[in-house]
Amino acid sequence: MSQPPSLRARPRSRFPLLRVVVTAVLLLGAATGGTAAAGAPPEGAPLFWVDPDTAAARQAAEWRAAGRLDDARLIDRIADRPQAVWFSDDGPGAVVRSRLAAAAMAGRTPVFVAYFIPGRDCGSYSSGGARDAAHYRQWIDDFASGLGTSPAYVIVEPDAVAHMVAGCPGAEAAERHELLAHAVQRLKSRPDTKVYLDAGNAGWITDEQRLVTPLRSAGIAEADGFALNVSNFRTDEESAKYGHRLADALGGGKHFVIDSSRNGNGPYEGTEGEAWCNPPGRALGTPPTADTGDPAIDAYLWIKRPGESDGTCRGGPKAGQWWPEYALGLAERAREGGAVAEPGVVAGTAPVAGTDPAPVAGTGGTVGQAGRQT
């Protein structure tokens, strides 16, 4: 599982001006030929915060210092993109508060993930979470207290609802749904927080009707919407179609967000190993943006941090730990012309006005293996 990284400053590039100039040229090329660049986000839409001290950022700096410039530039494709901050341990409030303050100073909106439900991950790679219901209520109240009045997106408990539908030994559905509803209510009590309750992915609970009653019990009515494909690999197109069907099944009107962090090549179709756990041949997907072209899709987000392991499968480290070789592969396979650094996002600086990252992959699941099934 991913642990909240520290806030110490990310080492800057040895050639920051050159890097920004090159980035701007690449974006101009993407906008004028080959891959079509996304336009500026709709008026009032957020620009998401780039954490300056991710494992990817530190890796890029280390390789740059060691002279591995080509590899460093590839990892920049991850480091220079907005990614979610996961909260999976006790005492989240102070860290939420500090991350929110850092994002506010940059004029950006952070994306947070609450991941502490009792019986988390049903005892699998990312097991853990709160001791009991009382512990969880205290935890989510602390989380909410850190949000304040600045804008934030919060993804609530990846896999928690879908696991109950699929079967989660030892977890009691009524209690889990009540805790999720409490989380949604507490998070939505903050004036500028958008809340998305996780709803699995298009390849897991394929009959979306099975999710309707559980999501309603878990507080979807008070949430801004639901999240799909967290830590998974389903394409944007498949996830969008599934999301529209689920929104209709819920009565219409609910929006959703899609995790596009690693879906550039879609899901793994091989027969060896579990398709959700560090599958080979995957690629970075559509960069985070609120300019989705679909009024029901609020954003494409990198909720899973690319390069963090799904678990100890296929030679990977523990769930949520940085795996540079896997990260490098994701970046190498991203479609040429799209996976370029966002202009001006060096150590958390503001973007060049009127620009937005170009898509990495044309089609369109952090912790550990959230979103793992199929």
**What pLDDT does residue 343 have?**
32
d(CA 199, CA 220): 10
Q: Is residue 108 part of a domain?
A: yes
Residue 275 contacts residue 265 (beta carbons within 8 Å)? no
Q: Is residue 304 part of a domain?
A: yes
Q: Is residue 342 part of a domain?
A: no
Q: Is residue 344 part of a domain?
A: no
CA nearest to 219, candidates 241, 191, 261, 186: 186
Tokens in use for 42?
């709709």
d(CA 289, CA 269): 28
**What pLDDT does residue 15 have?**
40
Assign residue 171 the CATH number of its domain: 3.20.20.40
Q: Is residue 119 part of a domain?
A: yes
Residue written as token pair 């060896």: 272
Number of domains the chain contains: 1
- Supply the range of the domain harboring residue 264: 16-332
Q: Is residue 363 part of a domain?
A: no
Dihedral angle over CA of 258, 58, 362, 29, nearest 10: 130
Alpha-helical regions (H) of 291-372: 324-332
d(CA 354, CA 61): 28
Q: Is residue 351 part of a domain?
A: no
Which positions are annotated as active-site residues? 121
- Which pLDDT tens digits describe the chain residue by residue (374 residues)? 333 333 333 333 444 444 443 344 333 333 333 333 334 556 778 999 999 999 999 999 999 999 999 999 999 999 999 999 999 999 999 999 999 999 999 999 999 999 999 988 887 777 779 999 999 999 999 999 999 999 999 999 999 999 999 999 888 999 999 999 999 999 999 999 999 999 999 999 999 999 999 999 999 999 999 999 999 999 999 999 999 999 999 999 999 999 999 999 999 999 888 899 999 999 999 999 999 999 999 999 999 999 999 999 999 999 999 999 999 999 999 975 344 333 333 333 333 333 333 333 333 334 444 555 55
Q: Is residue 373 part of a domain?
A: no
CA gyration radius for the chain? 19
